[in-house]
């Protein structure tokens, strides 16, 4: 018997002695001592569920037990009422906002940077109104240029800028979420642990990060990657098949998420695992199979 098991059984044993005279149930006392397994909160992006309009998509999601909705950030300020009304009375909340801003934060051109600043702030304000956990952003894609060079000064600049953005997001009851990509898409941020270190060094509780199972190709372990960010910084997760970014399960044995899920369970991850993927087969079939696969792997983890 290891120390933890011994302590648990000792606590239950002590409880049984204590409750014997009061007549309370021993089962209740032991059940209270055991921590419940964290819940898997699944989310879909707007394009994931079939349906002719937002309400049809949300009906479909509700029937599947999907509890998160991740809209894109483009035009979000004009969609606040539409989204609020569509979610009213449902067991679905906004999980995160996926980008949608213009420009980029590491732009050399001041005009492009100013465009980022104003459009990103509009999205953050709208995200707060609809109760989103945060707004996802990438510091720079490979195709975005001219971009600040990959130097120590640029990292310091990014941390300063993220601090300002994070503080702005906190005022709007939301956060900004850095998303690491893979080297084919972004040279700058490619590891969950690197994103988490930028969160830490930005010195704002409004700066968070996420992991995307599709992009996490340079993290050598999903488990270690999520734990490196931990509950303090990990605010969102994207999921897709791991070979071709289609529906989880469509790439067969490659689509193993158990290690990552184990980390999420160990850290009591309270946020969402959100579908960001295409689809090769018939959507309704692959989607149903994907949700079943993910739920089974979560149980297994
Ligand atoms: Mg993603």
Segment 244-256, tens digit of pLDDT: 999 999 999 999 9
> If you measure from the C-alpha of residue 1 to the centroid of ligand 1, how many angstroms do you get, rounded to a whole number?
43
Residue 184 has pLDDT above 80, yes or no: yes
Confidence band (pLDDT; 50, 70, 90) for 36? confident
> If you measure from the C-alpha of residue 71 to the centroid of ligand 1, how many angstroms do you get, rounded to a whole number?
13
> If you measure from the C-alpha of residue 272 to the centroid of ligand 1, how many angstroms do you get, rounded to a whole number?
13
> If you measure from the C-alpha of residue 28 to the centroid of ligand 1, how many angstroms do you get, rounded to a whole number?
42
> If you measure from the C-alpha of residue 80 to the centroid of ligand 1, how many angstroms do you get, rounded to a whole number?
23
Q: How far apart are CA 275 and CA 262, in angstroms?
A: 18
| Average pLDDT rounded to a whole number, residues 164-189 | 96
Residue 186 has pLDDT above 70, yes or no: yes
Written as six digits, the tokens of 95 are 């999980």
Q: Tens digit of pLDDT for each residue in 114-124?
A: 999 999 999 99
The pLDDT value recorded for residue 34 is 67
Phi/psi of residue 19, nearest 5 degrees: -85, -10
Residue 11 has pLDDT above 70, yes or no: no
> If you measure from the C-alpha of residue 238 to the centroid of ligand 1, how many angstroms do you get, rounded to a whole number?
5
The pLDDT value recorded for residue 35 is 74
Which one, of 265, 273, 254, 267, lies nearest residue 301 by Cα?
A: 265
> If you measure from the C-alpha of residue 35 to the centroid of ligand 1, how many angstroms do you get, rounded to a whole number?
31
> If you measure from the C-alpha of residue 270 to the centroid of ligand 1, how many angstroms do you get, rounded to a whole number?
18
Orientation of helix 110-129 relative to helix 152-171, angle to 10°: 30
| Average pLDDT rounded to a whole number, residues 267-287 | 97
> If you measure from the C-alpha of residue 99 to the centroid of ligand 1, how many angstroms do you get, rounded to a whole number?
10
Sheet of strand 68-70: strand arrangement:
93-94, 68-70, 42-45, 273-275, 234-239, 207-212, 176-178, 135-137, 97-98
Residue 242 has pLDDT above 80, yes or no: yes
Residue 29 has pLDDT above 80, yes or no: no
> If you measure from the C-alpha of residue 214 to the centroid of ligand 1, how many angstroms do you get, rounded to a whole number?
7
> If you measure from the C-alpha of residue 245 to the centroid of ligand 1, how many angstroms do you get, rounded to a whole number?
10
> If you measure from the C-alpha of residue 136 to the centroid of ligand 1, how many angstroms do you get, rounded to a whole number?
9
The pLDDT value recorded for residue 81 is 98
> If you measure from the C-alpha of residue 274 to the centroid of ligand 1, how many angstroms do you get, rounded to a whole number?
9
> If you measure from the C-alpha of residue 296 to the centroid of ligand 1, how many angstroms do you get, rounded to a whole number?
22
Which percentage of the chain shows pLDDT scores above 70?
A: 89
Residue 158 has pLDDT above 90, yes or no: yes
The pLDDT value recorded for residue 32 is 52
Q: Which residue has the higher pLDDT, 277 or 29?
A: 277
């Amino acid at each position: 018997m290891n120390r933890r098991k011994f302590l648990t059984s000792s606590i239950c044993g002590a409880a049984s002695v204590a409750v014997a005279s009061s007549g309370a149930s021993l089962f209740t006392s032991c059940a209270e001592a055991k921590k419940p397994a964290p819940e898997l909160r699944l989310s879909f992006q707007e394009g994931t569920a079939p349906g002719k309009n937002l309400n049809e998509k949300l009906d479909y999601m509700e029937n599947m037990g999907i509890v998160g909705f991740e809209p894109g950030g483009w035009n979000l300020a004009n969609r606040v009422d539409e989204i609020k009304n569509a979610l009213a009375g449902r067991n679905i909340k906004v999980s995160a906002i996926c980008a949608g801003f213009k420009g980029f934060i590491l732009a050399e051109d001041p005009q492009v940077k100013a465009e980022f600043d104003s459009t990103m702030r509009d999205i953050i304000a709208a995200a707060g109104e609809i109760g989103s956990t945060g707004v996802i952003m990438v510091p720079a894609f490979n195709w975005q240029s001219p971009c600040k060079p990959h130097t120590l000064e640029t990292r310091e600049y990014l941390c300063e800028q993220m601090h300002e953005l994070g503080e702005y997001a906190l005022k709007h009851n939301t956060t900004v979420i850095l998303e690491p990509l893979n080297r084919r898409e972004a040279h700058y941020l490619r590891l969950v642990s690197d994103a988490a270190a930028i969160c830490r060094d930005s010195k704002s509780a409004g700066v968070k990060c996420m992991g995307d199972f599709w992009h996490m190709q340079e993290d050598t372990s999903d488990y270690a990657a999520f734990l490196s960010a931990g509950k303090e910084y990990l605010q969102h997760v994207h999921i897709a098949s791991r070979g071709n970014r289609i529906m989880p399960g469509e790439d067969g044995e490659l689509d193993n998420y158990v290690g990552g899920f184990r980390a999420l369970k160990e850290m009591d991850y309270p946020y969402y695992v959100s579908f960001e993927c295409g689809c090769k087969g018939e959507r309704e079939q692959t989607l149903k199979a994907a949700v079943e696969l993910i739920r089974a792997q979560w149980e297994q983890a």
